[in-house]
Structure 1
Amino acid sequence: MNMEIATVNALPYEDFVNIFGNVVEKCPIITAAVWSRRPFVSLGAFEAAISEFIDALPESGKEGILRCHPDLAGRDLQSGTLTQESREEQTGAGMDALDSSEASRMARLNNEYKERFGFPFVICARMNDKATILRQLSERLGNERPVERARGIEEVKKICRLRLQGLVLIDALNKL
């Protein structure tokens, strides 16, 4: 579905939240909150409203957003309980095609990461492949918690941008 920004602006609240409620994984409250900021002049303005809302949250709220994300190549992927968006993103990055050593390394690193930071590792799967994801997961384990929280939120914003682009036409006159 690729709708014009004017169509987005005209959507009733329930439809708006139903359509855009998962642009930030399992956080329809964010979409609900930015609905009142319409009309958006462009897709970029819509995206900026979401980013500003996230940036204004306390650190605990940002961690809450990160906790809504599933483990990469985790049990939700294996059991088919991922959101449609996450399933497509993880499959596209090859998370469903890990060999046994990659799968066990991913599971071990995911667990270490969650123990260290208290939230799952988040990376924009559509912008990475499985080798890069494994390397980033391993490297980012060395970060301090505030650094990693900020990095995770930046990845959430990349995911959000790509999901929005899949739903809203980019206005040729207002690309930014």
Structure 2
Amino acid sequence: MNYPISLTAANDLYGCEFERVFGNVIELCVDAAVQVKKQRPFTSVDEVVDAFAGYLDGLSENEKVVVIQRHPDLAGRLAAEGKLTTESASEQKTAGLDRLTPEQKTLINCNNERYKAKFGFPFIICARENKVASIIEGLQRRYNNTLAQEIQTATGEIKKICKLRILDLVKDD
């Protein structure tokens, strides 16, 4: 299948095909596609984006943490081993995380570990909207947030990632 597909084609996808196409717009969260599929037909791509955002908004705080925990570390072990999802690999490359200096790699890895130790989940930022310097700055600045603030901020970043992934997959007719 060539992407982006039309909104009509997205509305017409068979059940499991919709889940295959949209199952990673929220990282490794096929349940989002299962739930959003029930809201078809959509009349615009914005409605699709809003439906996935609504899915996230409807989760409890604990469920949001589970969704956040599914995301990989930025420039972490999975990236080094080539085990990121196709979408995450592309996003991290766009941000320049595949071309870090040894100093930047050490700084990001140390800050990732410190962040995860405090919050219990990886640092989430929309890599496609950032570059290495802003990612490092965000890691350091957001460490001072409360858990509730970080759940809210990470969920907002996931919505940005989700929207961009949807725009890669579907376009208005």
TM over 0.5: yes
CA RMSD of aligned residues (A): 0.8
* Residue 100 of structure 2, aligned match among 92, 98, 117: 98
CA distance in structure 1 between the partners assigned to 2:16 and 2:58 by the alignment: 24
CA distance in structure 1 between the partners assigned to 2:151 and 2:67 by the alignment: 10
Shift of 1:75: 0.5
CA distance in structure 1 between the partners assigned to 2:47 and 2:24 by the alignment: 18
Task: Give the letter for the 1:125 counterpart.
Answer: A
* Residue 40 of structure 2, aligned match among 38, 41, 46: 38
CA distance in structure 2 between the partners assigned to 1:106 and 1:68 by the alignment: 19
Residues 15-39 of structure 1 show CA distances to partners (whole Å, capped at 9, x for unaligned) of 1000110000010111111111100
CA distance in structure 2 between the partners assigned to 1:129 and 1:107 by the alignment: 16
Q: Superposed, which structure 2 residues align to 1:82-121 within 5 Å?
A: 82-121=84-123
Show structure 2 runs of 5+ residues with no match: none
Cross-structure match for 2:149: 147
Cross-structure match for 2:65: 63
Shift of 1:170: 3.8
CA distance in structure 1 between the partners assigned to 2:39 and 2:120 by the alignment: 32
% identity of equivalent residues:
39
CA distance in structure 1 between the partners assigned to 2:62 and 2:95 by the alignment: 29
Cross-structure match for 2:138: 136
- Tell me the TM-score normalised to structure 2 length: 0.97
Shift of 1:53: 1.2
Task: Give the letter for the 1:24 counterpart.
Answer: I
Residues 30-87 of structure 1 show CA distances to partners (whole Å, capped at 9, x for unaligned) of 1111111100111110111111111011100001110000000001110000000000
Question: Across the two proteins, how many residue pairs are aligned to each other?
Answer: 171
Show structure 1 runs of 5+ residues with no match: 172-176
Residues 121-156 of structure 1 show CA distances to partners (whole Å, capped at 9, x for unaligned) of 000000000111010111000001100110000000
Residues 68-116 of structure 1 show CA distances to partners (whole Å, capped at 9, x for unaligned) of 0000000111000000000000011111111111111101100011011
CA distance in structure 1 between the partners assigned to 2:155 and 2:172 by the alignment: 23
